[in-house]
Amino acid sequence: MVNARFPEPFKHTHPPVRNTNEIIEAQLTFGQKASDWVATNLGSWWFIIVQTAILMAWAAVNVLAWFHHWDPYPFIFMNLVLSLQAAYAAPIIMMSQNRQAVRDRLEAHNDYQINLKTEEEVRSILDHLTAQNDALIEIHRLLDEIRKQKENDKDSS
């Protein structure tokens, strides 16, 4: 009879998986939080609607002369304000996108580490299954020998 050899039980030597969102949130500076807030709000329908209402009111007040004309047509001051807004909004949004790219790289690296751990554990499981298959084949072979021996004993008596 062949003794079945099973692999050593798998030992988890890796550190526990950490939530990348918690890691990143803990490291955010005030500037990074601010740039995310600006990017989130500038990219919303709420902002578009409010900005459209302000620009329409600006134009209406200056065209209809309900109040003092501080920016007569063709609204050069409004153009300057919008240019300044765009000049500051673009770099702030880029900062947020760059930070998001760093976050994506960290998450991709974390996914890679998890995949490596998973592959190691799957390999261990497959080794154990192979050992069990070999043991079952040996058990079936021994049972067949015992059955044949019993049949021979019955036939000879």
Residue 77 — pLDDT band, cuts 50, 70, 90? very high
Task: Look at residue 11 and tell me if it is in a domain.
Answer: no
* Assigned domain for 62 exists: yes
Establish if 18 belongs to a structural domain.
no
**Is residue 21 assigned to a domain?**
no
More confident site: 134 or 5: 134
155 half-sphere exposure, CB direction, 13 A CA radius: 6
Residues 8 and 131: beta-carbon distance below 8 Å: no
Please give the model's pTM, rounded to 2 decimal places: 0.63
pLDDT at 56: 93
In a domain, 15, yes or no: no
| Residue 15 pLDDT exceeds 90 | no
56 in any annotated domain? yes
Domain assignment present for residue 52? The answer is: yes
Domain that holds residue 74: 31-156
Q: Is residue 110 part of a domain?
A: yes
Radius of gyration of the chain (CA): 36
DSSP at 120: H
Q: Tokens in use for 124? A: 């261990």
Task: Report the number of distinct structural domains present in the chain.
Answer: 1
pLDDT above 60 (res 1): no
